[in-house]
């Protein structure tokens, strides 16, 4: 599964990941308050392509009544634009979320967390899932207790990012917490954290007994990690990494799709970080990244990437196979 990631997992990127084998995808975190108020920017996050299914909408908030109303809004959408499940964000570590007692802050207030979960499950006609962390900090790791709470309140699946809020995205993920959480409940637990390759995905499943694996940062600029993981899981086969041509063409396709959603100017600006990720590990790409950061049109980015690809494939400066001498991922 692709992890929902603020500022990254928009519809074009999710579509590319689904096409490469991700089992399901989910929106960026969506403010329940914004949804209830009808905020236009918030509503934009609900956009998805039919080919993304199964896909979910991830809600965050801390008011049980508002969260329930947001879930009803999502469930009452017309069938063709209605997602397949509602996901609860109980793990976001960023300051502006936790100061509203939402995201990972709910791990410190289990009575309120249970009220929120039960309100959403009661209001939703779609399956409800949850993404959480293993605790607030090293002294307060309550991931197993929280997973039991979810299961008891009617949540259908839990994704466990095996880091605490205080860790953010740093340090080693505690896969033992994933194992213990899955052993404690009968609903599926999906493991997340430190999955940087297909082999690591297989190792997580083997060591934890988790029902699935969720990939986040390692998919940045590399949706092909899902293709590689499926090949290893389903066939025991080591799949070759994406070629430089696949990467350039994937990046440009994502840019083109995004431009149709938010307009060319915004798309070019939002794609700058993605361009850097697609180029990661390729030789002598620094000047291309710098030029992409100054680009203002899609045509400029296309010219930059295709010109760079031409130099790679012609052998100018290095051989194409040397592009993969460094590990791929973030």
The H-assigned helical ranges of the chain are: 11-19, 32-37, 40-44, 64-75, 95-98, 110-123, 143-153, 175-184, 198-208, 224-235, 244-262, 264-279, 286-294, 298-314
Own/partner contacts of 49-54, CB < 8 Å, gap of 24 or more, are 49/11, 49/14, 49/15, 50/80, 51/15, 51/18, 51/19, 52/11, 52/14, 52/15, 52/18, 52/25, 53/84, 54/23, 54/24, 54/84, 54/85
- C-beta of residue 75 within 8 angstroms of C-beta of residue 82: yes
- C-beta of residue 67 within 8 angstroms of C-beta of residue 32: yes
Asked about 75 being catalytic, the answer comes back as no
Nearest-Å Rg of the Cα atoms of the chain is 20
Query: Cβ-count burial of 42 within 10 angstroms (0-12 exposed, 13-18 middle, 19+ buried)?
Result: middle
Q: Please tell me what DSSP assigns to residue 315.
A: T
What's the half-sphere exposure (Cβ side, CA atoms, 13 Å) at 319? 3
Annotated active-site residue in 26, 92, 134, 251: 92
The Cα-based distances of 41 to 34, 38, 255, 262, 309 in angstroms read 8, 9, 20, 11, 36
Distance in angstroms (rounded) separating the CA atoms of residues 48 and 42: 13
Cis peptide before 310 (omega within 30 of 0): no
Read out DSSP for 147-167? HHHHHHHT-SEEEEE-S-TTT
C-alpha closest to that of 42 among 50, 25, 30: 30
* Residues annotated as part of the active site: 92
């Amino acid at each position: 599964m692709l992890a929902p990631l603020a500022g990254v997992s928009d519809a074009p990127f999710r579509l590319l990941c689904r096409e490469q084998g991700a089992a399901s995808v989910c929106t960026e975190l969506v403010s329940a308050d914004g949804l209830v108020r009808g905020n236009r920017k918030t509503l934009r996050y609900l956009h998805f392509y039919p080919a993304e299914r199964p896909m979910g909408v991830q809600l965050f908030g801390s008011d049980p009544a508002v969260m329930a109303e947001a879930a009803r809004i999502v469930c009452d959408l017309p069938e063709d634009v209605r997602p397949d499940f509602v996901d609860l964000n109980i793990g976001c570590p960023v300051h502006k979320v936790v100061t509203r007692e939402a995201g990972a802050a709910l791990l410190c207030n289990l009575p309120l967390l249970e009220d929120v979960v039960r309100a959403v499950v009661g209001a939703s006609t779609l399956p409800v899932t949850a993404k959480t962390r293993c605790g607030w900090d090293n002294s307060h790791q309550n991931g197993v207790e929280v997973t039991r709470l979810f299961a008891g309140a009617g949540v259908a699946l839990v994704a466990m990012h095996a880091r605490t809020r205080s860790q953010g995205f740093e340090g080693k993920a505690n896969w033992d917490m994933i194992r213990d959480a899955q052993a404690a409940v009968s609903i599926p637990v999906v493991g997340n954290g430190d999955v940087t390759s297909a082999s690591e995905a297989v190792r997580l499943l083997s060591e934890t007994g988790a029902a699935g694996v969720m990939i986040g940062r390692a998919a940045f600029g590399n949706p092909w990690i899902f293709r590689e993981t499926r090949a290893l899981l389903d066939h025991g086969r080591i799949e070759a990494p994406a070629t430089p041509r696949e990467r350039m063409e994937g990046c440009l396709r994502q840019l083109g799709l995004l431009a149709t959603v938010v307009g060319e100017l915004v798309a070019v600006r939002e794609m700058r970080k993605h361009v850097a990720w697609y180029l990661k590990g390729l030789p002598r790409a620094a000047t291309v990244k710098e030029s992409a950061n100054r680009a203002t049109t899609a045509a400029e980015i296309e010219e930059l990437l295709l010109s760079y690809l031409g130099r790679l494939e012609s052998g100018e400066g290095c051989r194409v196979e040397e592009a993969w001498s460094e590990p791929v991922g973030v």
